[in-house]
């Protein structure tokens, strides 16, 4: 249910009791307007949501058998849609429960890795190729686990192809034809904003980076929810110098209550850096999650507004208000 609007349904008998003998149209519109106002998120269009809400704990991401909820905006249905371009063995597994951060809405499982000696390029196609002009926002949860070497070499990327390499400190340099954007450990330590211009074959990397806290768990991949980062990005197409794309990367603080206000005035958001590069956004068709050390990923969202990717759990008062509203209308009807 995370990332989607919340809807409340009333049985037919209840609706008839509320509306009978009253101004039916006005009553029903008022009721559902109230529900919409307090229960739905102010979102534009949720393009992608992957909460890994399928499979069973311990099943491989690319070969799970237990059915569940299909992700939004990713191609295909059922098992085998996520594939690893590097390893013939199953290295990414569904882990029980979601990663957690503040009061971010979550669903399903998260993914982690069983083998810290492998390079993995897990990828899945987007349901629709490319993004239109304007802006997109994205967010994801990330946690780095200590393995047999401490460097970060992982990355989240949306590209026009499978990421060429799993490592970003010594791979995934620019190349003619390679388009896209990424949040990746190019410096081998922390996460940076990365942009690819396929026409010139250049890669642009931010000077600023998201500081990553490493969980010292050795090869114990069952560890989670110790040092989770909530990464948020905004990409404004064709608004930079000479029509370049503008990519701003943010790291969020966990104060227990997710601030959903605009990024430039958001009390939880720290602007890490902004880069400009010129990609062809109409060609982007693949979501990539790569690694060479143990990491956890979860709650991947891409949308056309900030509200699509900053999705807090509704407060208890929301549900209380809905319940009281319904009881009030029924009581009023019985007295009339």
pLDDT tens, position by position, 80-90: 899 999 877 77
Q: Please indicate, yes or no, if residue 55 is contained in any of the structural domains.
A: no
The boundaries of the domain holding residue 133 are 123-307
- Which of 38-42, 254-258, 276-280 shows the lowest mean pLDDT across its residues? 38-42
- Residues 6 or more apart whose Cβ sits within 8 Å of residue 40: 5, 6, 7
pLDDT on residue 297: 95
Q: Distance between CA atoms of 300 and 142, rounded to whole angstroms?
A: 10
* CA distance linking residue 180 with residue 177, whole number of Å: 10
Assigned domain for 115 exists: no
pLDDT reported for residue 26 = 37
Is a pLDDT exceeding 70 seen at residue 205?
yes
Q: Are residues 148 and 226 in the same domain?
A: yes
Same domain, 241 and 294: yes
Flag whether 96 is in a domain. Answer: no
In a domain, 2, yes or no: no
The reply to whether 46 falls in a domain is no
Distances (CA, A) of 252 to 29, 141, 233, 272: 38, 10, 11, 10
Question: Is 7 domain-assigned?
Answer: no
What are the structure tokens assigned to 15, written together? 């609706």
Q: Match 């609706």 to its residue by tokens.
A: 15
pLDDT value of residue 192: 96
β-strand partners of 83: 123
Classify residue 222: in a domain, yes or no: yes
Same domain, 224 and 301: yes
Whether residue 235 is found in the same domain as residue 327:
no
Does a structural domain hold residue 333? Answer: yes
d(CA 280, CA 237): 9
The pTM (predicted TM-score) of the whole model is: 0.82
Same structural domain for residues 216 and 333? no
Q: Clarify whether residues 335 and 255 are in a common domain.
A: no
Model pLDDT for residues 286-312, shown as the tens digit of each residue? 999 998 878 899 999 999 999 999 999
219 vs 75: CA distance, rounded Å: 32
**Domain match, 131 and 248 both:** yes
Q: Coil, strand or helix: which one is 328?
A: helix
pLDDT digits (tens, 9 = 90+) for 49-103: 999 999 999 899 999 998 899 999 999 998 889 999 987 777 889 999 999 999 9
Domains in the chain, number: 2
Does one domain contain both 146 and 256?
Answer: yes
Is the pLDDT reported for residue 30 higher than 80?
Answer: no
68 closest CA partner among 95, 108, 25: 108
As a whole number of Å, the end-to-end CA separation of the chain is: 38
Percent residues over pLDDT 70 in the chain: 76
| Residues 139, 278 within the same domain | yes
Which residues lie closer than 8 Å to 125 by C-beta, 6 or more apart? Answer: 74, 75, 76, 81, 285, 286, 287
User: Do 28 and 130 belong to one domain?
Assistant: no
The DSSP result for 74-106, as a single string, is: BSS-STT-SEESS-SS--EEEESS----TTB--
- What is the CATH classification number for the domain harbouring 248? 2.60.120
Categorize the per-residue pLDDT at 40 as very low, low, confident or very high, splitting at 50, 70 and 90.
very low
Same domain, 172 and 31: no
Answer yes or no: do 36 and 172 share one domain.
no
């Amino acid at each position: 249910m995370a990332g989607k609007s919340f809807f409340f349904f009333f049985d037919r008998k209840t609706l008839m009791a509320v509306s009978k003998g009253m101004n039916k149209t006005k009553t029903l519109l008022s009721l559902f307007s109230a529900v919409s106002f307090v229960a739905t998120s102010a979102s534009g269009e949720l393009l992608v949501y992957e909460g890994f809400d399928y499979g069973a704990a311990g099943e491989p991401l690319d070969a799970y058998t237990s059915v569940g909820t299909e992700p939004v905006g990713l191609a295909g249905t059922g098992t085998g849609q996520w594939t690893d371009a590097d390893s013939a063995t199953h290295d990414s597994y569904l882990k029980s429960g979601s990663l957690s951060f503040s009061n971010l809405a979550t669903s399903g499982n998260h993914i982690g890795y069983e083998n810290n000696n492998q390079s993995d390029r897990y990828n899945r196609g987007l349901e629709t190729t490319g993004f239109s002009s304007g802006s997109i926002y994205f967010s994801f949860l990330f946690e780095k686990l200590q393995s047999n070497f401490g460097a970060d070499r992982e990355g989240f990327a949306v590209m026009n192809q499978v990421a060429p390499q799993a490592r970003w400190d010594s791979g995934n340099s620019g190349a003619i034809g390679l388009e896209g954007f990424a949040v990746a450990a190019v410096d081998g330590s922390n996460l940076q904003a990365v942009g690819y211009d396929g026409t010139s074959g250049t890669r642009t990397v931010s000077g600023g980076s998201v500081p990553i806290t490493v969980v010292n768990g050795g090869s114990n991949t069952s560890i989670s929810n110790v040092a989770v980062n909530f990464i948020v990005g905004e990409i404004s197409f064709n608004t930079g110098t000479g029509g370049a794309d503008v990519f701003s990367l943010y790291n969020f603080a966990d104060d227990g209550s997710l601030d959903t206000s605009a990024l430039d005035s958001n009390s939880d958001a720290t602007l890490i850096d902004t880069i400009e590069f010129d990609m062809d956004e109409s060609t982007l068709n693949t979501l990539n999650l790569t690694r060479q050390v143990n990491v956890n990923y979860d709650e991947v969202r891409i949308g056309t507004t900030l509200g699509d990717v900053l999705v807090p759990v509704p407060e208890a008062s929301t549900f209380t208000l809905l319940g009281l509203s319904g009881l009030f209308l029924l009581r009023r009807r019985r007295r009339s």
